[in-house]
Amino acid sequence: MCFCICLLCVYMHTLPFLLRTRVSFVLSTLLFIFNNVYAQTCSKTAQGLTTTEMTVISKVSTLATTQWLRKQIGSSNTATRALRILDTSFVRDKQVDTYTMDYLEGHIPQALFFDLHKCVESTPSIPRNLPDPACFTSYVRKLGIWPDTHVVAYDRFGPASAYRTWWLFRLYGHTNISVLDGGYRKWVADGYDTTKEEPEVEPSMFIPQLDRFLVRTFDDMAENLRTCREQVVDARGATDRAVVDTESGGGKIPGSRHVSFEELFNEDGTMKTEEQLKSMFDDAGLNLQRPLVATCNTGMTACGVAAAAHILGRDIPVYYGSWTEWRQRAREEHTYSGCTEQQDVLKNGLGL
């Protein structure tokens, strides 16, 4: 069996990314079953999980308040299986060691560091690529995250990486995740303790399940220009330089409407109320009763808009290549930034 799995591992490198992702998930499951020595010593929760059982987990809120998290932590720095707090502090430059420079200098008690750069092979067109499934699985297991573990993600520089983490875990089948509303900045402002102590956790048997609904590819977005099935919501502001400065590579996918990621939050970093979020979608001309897909510049802030829609009761996918990929792969007429209606694209004969 091990020999067959090794052959499959070699072969899968020739497959397209999403197909390779599904094959990798199958391999992870096979390896889990093959590791019967471990399985026989585990409880039924870890041992006998089927695909159906793994998806039947309690629905948690998109956001967790600092007060709620403080109550869950109590006075202990010992991390438990029930709760896993992740410090997702992130900067674009991979050479910057945020684990050493920031996490180890102080973090929320029981928090482990989660590196968004880990397992990711960036490309010029997709700098914020999806993590390799096998690597991601191994990484999450080392973090001690089980199917029933409630994950709470936070950032100290801004909320983007926490929402990206929220989307990634849900994409890989772990819906039991929340974002700390207001992040590390609000935690400190509320006067709660921080620590330099790094907790120890036991490895888990996390098994990923790709939720294909939550992700869109370039081909999906190109097809959407024909069908106009999904409204496109851009997390960049309508007047952002990355949108209006076409001479520097700016622009947007034709038909996009704008719900600015930056405007989703109050001054203290917390998410605005449901009523305010609903007004933002309404003002942008977006109908929450119809399908939507979120995009941005590199696939980071779009996750925040997806979370806002989730708060309003809608699960929407993210185009993970976003504008950076689109402008490099689409034909010139499909990068035109002045097009504001998808129907204009069809009417003018610009469908791919």
Q: Which residues are catalytic?
A: 296
Residue 194's CB: how many other CB atoms inside 10 A? 14
* Tokens of residue 25, six digits: 């998930």
Sheet with 63-64, strands from edge to edge, namely: 63-64, 177-180, 150-154, 83-87, 111-113
Torsion of CA 113, 116, 121, 126, to 10 degrees: -170
**Cβ(98)–Cβ(86) below 8 Å:** no
Residue 101's CB: how many other CB atoms inside 10 A? 11
Angle between helices 17-34 and 2-12 (to 10 degrees): 170
Residue 220's CB: how many other CB atoms inside 10 A? 15
* Three-class secondary structure of residue 279 per DSSP: helix
Q: Which amino acid is residue 134, in one-letter code? A: A
The alpha carbon dihedral of 259, 265, 271, 274 has a sign of: negative
Given the structure tokens 């497959």, which residue do they identify?
Answer: 15
CA dist., res. 164 & res. 160, Å (int): 6
> What's 288's DSSP letter?
T
**Which of 34, 32, 37 has its CA nearest to residue 49?**
32
